[in-house]
Amino acid sequence: MSQSDNYEAAASGANTEVASFADDGKGLLGRFQHMLHVNPAMVPLIVLVAAVIVFGAVLGSKFFSPFALTLILQQVQIVGVLAAAQSLIILTAGIDLSVGAIAVLSSVIMGQFAFRYGVPPFFAVVAGLAIGTGIGAINGWLVSRIKLPPFIVTLGMWQIVLAANYLYSDNETIRSQDIESDAAFLQFLGTKLQFAGATFTLGVILMILLVLVLAYCLRATAWGRHVYAVGDDPEAAELAGVNVHKTLMSVYMLVGFICGLAGWVMIGRFGSVSPSATTGVIGNIQAITAVVIGGISLFGGRGSIVGAFFGALIVGVFELGLRMAGANPQWTFLLIGTLIIAAVAVDQWIRKVSA
């Protein structure tokens, strides 16, 4: 072996020892921190599994029954769809306070078009989805072109949409039995499917499919990489050739469309169309709660939409478990509030990996 080969071998061995020393220097906690950084959905998954185990141990078979577990999915289907929409906005380092109001207005448009104007139910649904998409486009244009803060834009849009909702509908509720007899397609996503003692609705299936499709698009497409890049550093993304305006417009329009889907899910879930549905007021808070608990960073550019889905399920598990245990409902708010603060603290700790 030549002298140069000896030097290369020695250098290689030294580098290996340094790398090994660096890995050992991280320790178990450091490696765990790095794993959570690489897999942001891991934290909410751990919390979800722990919550299911705890409530299962306390409540026994009645909690673990197929009916109870699928009831959780039915209860979170609206929040789950809105959380998917909110996730896209927060990944771009924004926030959308209008998602719940857009969902309610979309449902009202669907109902009013079908009953006030006699539009076939299928096209009434299309109209609701189009209105949701259009409102999302306005939000995106104001954020991207006018450079207004997303918080201010969507806070104002929340108030505008709520007012338009009541003014347009004259605060009229369309009853479930009327929809069932004259425009049953509006309730299509409320169709129930029975399987092995479990009850699913098409709204639940839509929510799961939506999460899976968005997760794939964010992970495996150029558009998804652009979304993360814009959320992480829009100026650097622009320099790298990303069309920030086009990306933001696509995100906000897609979010408006998803809110329209949430409005359709609402009709399937509740049966009726009501402009005073509580989703319009608290839907945005519920969606943000699921996203934060799901491990998506409020600073943008990091997180998984699957984590937001887990976050919605965590809220559903706590609500059902505490209700079945006969606990005061205020304990739900207390525990969810604690989880929100803990989730942000964990996010800050995990972000130190990339600092």
Residue range 127-142, pLDDT digits in tens:
999 999 999 999 999 9
Residue 191 tokens, joined? 């169709």
Least confident of 6-10, 160-164, 306-310: 6-10
Among 38, 179, 160, CA closest to 102: 160
Is residue 174 scored above 50 in pLDDT?
Answer: yes
Among 233, 237, 211, CA closest to 299: 233
The SS3 of residue 167 is helix
Measure the CA–CA gap between 41 and 84, rounded to whole angstroms. Answer: 14
Residue pair 263/257 in contact by the 8 Å Cβ criterion? no
- What pLDDT score was predicted for residue 348? 75
Strand 192-195 to strand 198-201: parallel, antiparallel, or no bridges (unpaired)?
A: antiparallel
Residue 69 tokens, joined? 């577990």
The SS3 of residue 200 is strand
Q: What's the mean pLDDT when you consider all of the chain? A: 87
Is residue 149 scored above 60 in pLDDT?
Answer: yes
- What pLDDT score was predicted for residue 176? 95
User: Which has the higher per-residue pLDDT, 88 or 354?
Assistant: 88
State the average pLDDT over residues 92-106: 96
- What pLDDT score was predicted for residue 44? 86
Bridge partners for 174 per DSSP:
273
Amino acid of residue 152: I
Is residue 349 scored above 50 in pLDDT?
Answer: yes
Residue pair 135/158 in contact by the 8 Å Cβ criterion? no
State the first-to-last Cα distance of the chain, in angstroms, to the nearest integer: 43
Residue pair 133/253 in contact by the 8 Å Cβ criterion? yes
**What's the gap between Cα 16 and its chain centre?**
43
> For helices 244-270 and 66-91, what crossing angle results, to 10°?
160
DSSP 8-state secondary structure symbol assigned to residue 272: S
Measure the CA–CA gap between 104 and 274, rounded to whole angstroms. Answer: 8
Helix H or strand E encompassing 193: strand 192-195
| Banded pLDDT at 32 (limits 50, 70, 90) | low
When mean pLDDT is compared over 39-48, 79-88, 343-352, the highest value belongs to 79-88
Least confident of 41-50, 95-104, 155-164, 274-283: 41-50
